[in-house]
Amino acid sequence: MIRLTRRIEFSAAHFYQNPEFSAEENQRIFGKCSNTKGHGHNYLLEVTVAGEPDPKTGMILDLNELKGILDREITARFDHRHLNFEIPELRGKVPTCEELAAVIWKILEPVIRQGRLDRIRLYESPELFVDCAREGE
């Protein structure tokens, strides 16, 4: 099996607040990330598709198709957005890197039809990233 990875970047704002917690509890748990004015990140997303190359094209999937999927499904949806207010899939959730990665997985898995979505890696910063991978791997 071959794995192909493409990277994209997008910028988004968020803050961490659980409405079930008091203001003091949100501050204690989330620290400066609980500031409701929010803060932003330049996210780096790596999307890995696994499969066998087509014998005629030598590709797992057409790279232009993958770029189009990522532009349409991720960049258009998340770039320069406020995750707390503008992303329905995150409504009612604390928009952590983990939650965002899970949402991105659910968005991409059904639309990648050549090969299969194998892993996503979402960097919130150079020092912090989350992997979301196919179960059992």
Secondary structure percentages of the chain, helix, strand, coil, to 5: 35, 30, 35
Catalytic residues: 33, 80, 124
pLDDT in tens, 7-24: 999 999 999 999 999 999
Cα dihedral 47, 49, 54, 56, rounded to 10, equals 0
Pick the closest to residue 66 from 111, 104, 3, 120 (CA basis): 111
Q: What percent of the chain has pLDDT over 90?
A: 97
Domains and CATH numbers, the chain: 2-133 (3.30.479.10)
Could you give the CA distance from residue 59 to residue 51 in angstroms, rounded to a whole number? 9
Q: Which tokens sit at 16?
A: 């961490």
The secondary structure of residue 94, as a DSSP letter, is -
Could you give the CA distance from residue 124 to residue 102 in angstroms, rounded to a whole number? 14
pLDDT in tens, 59-101: 999 999 999 999 999 999 999 999 999 999 999 999 999 999 9
* Helical (H) or strand (E) element with 129: strand 128-133
Residues contacting 23, CB < 8 A, separation 6+: none
